[in-house]
Amino acid sequence: MTAKVALATSNEGKRAELAPLFEELDIELVLPDARLMSEIEESGLTFIENALIKARAVSAITQLPAIADDSGLSVNALDGKPGIHSARYAGTPSDALRNNEKLLATMSDVPDREREASFQCVLVYLRHPDDPVPLIGIGSWEGEILRAPRGSQGFGYDPLFFLPSLNRTAAELTTEEKNAISHRAKAAKQLVAKLHGS
């Protein structure tokens, strides 16, 4: 029987990537109202805390099990920033163009060989709001920050996130290509395996 699970995100880019990653499970992903998501205060200090906060809030409101994604960009030369503040790096409301501009300006003096960064993703699944044993998947994806954007696919920092082995940015990959190698895909793979086993 198909089970309904709430997907606790208002980020359309995440939703587009996550839906096919969970397709093999017999679940119907239900999307909460974007306004509801914007009211949730991500007050945690880690990706995992913030993912749990989002999943718990959405599970409580929808009365469904919930999956949440908390993710971000970690730049070595910036001591891991913007990190958990990636979505609102350049202020509120969240604006990818302004975030990318701020990142480029902040890194203007960082030499080419010191521009390593990684995307981080934590996915959690709560069976109900008080679930004491959430299922968790974690993934990271290594790359470098360019000096100018390239590509129009994906979302967020993808146009600046360069993959030397592919000679392309994440924004020059199709959803299928990104979903074969990304931080989110790695986290989803772990979570799907745990859901199969639970």
Under the rule (CB under 6 A), what is the footprint of ligand ITT? Answer: 9-11, 14, 37, 42, 54, 69-73, 86-87, 94, 99, 119, 154-158, 170, 182, 184
In the bound complex, what is the minimum distance in angstroms from residue 2's beta carbon to ligand ITT? 23
In the bound complex, what is the minimum distance in angstroms from residue 25's beta carbon to ligand ITT? 19
How far apart are the C-alpha atoms of 149 and 104, rounded to whole Å? 9
Where are the strands (E) in 76-157, listed by range? 116-126, 135-145
How far apart are the C-alpha atoms of 50 and 45, rounded to whole Å? 7
In the bound complex, what is the minimum distance in angstroms from residue 197's beta carbon to ligand ITT? 25
Q: Which of 33, 70, 109, 130 is catalytic?
A: 70
How far apart are the C-alpha atoms of 168 and 160, rounded to whole Å? 10
70 is catalytic: yes
Compare residues 44 and 129 and give the one whose CB is closer to ligand ITT.
Answer: 44
Sheet containing 135-145, strands listed edge to edge, beginning at the edge strand earlier in sequence: 27-30, 3-7, 66-75, 116-126, 135-145, 161-163, 168-169
Compare residues 75 and 87 and give the one whose CB is closer to ligand ITT.
Answer: 87
Spatial neighbors of 77 by CB under 8 A, at least 6 apart, are: 107, 110, 114, 115, 116
Which positions are catalytic? 70
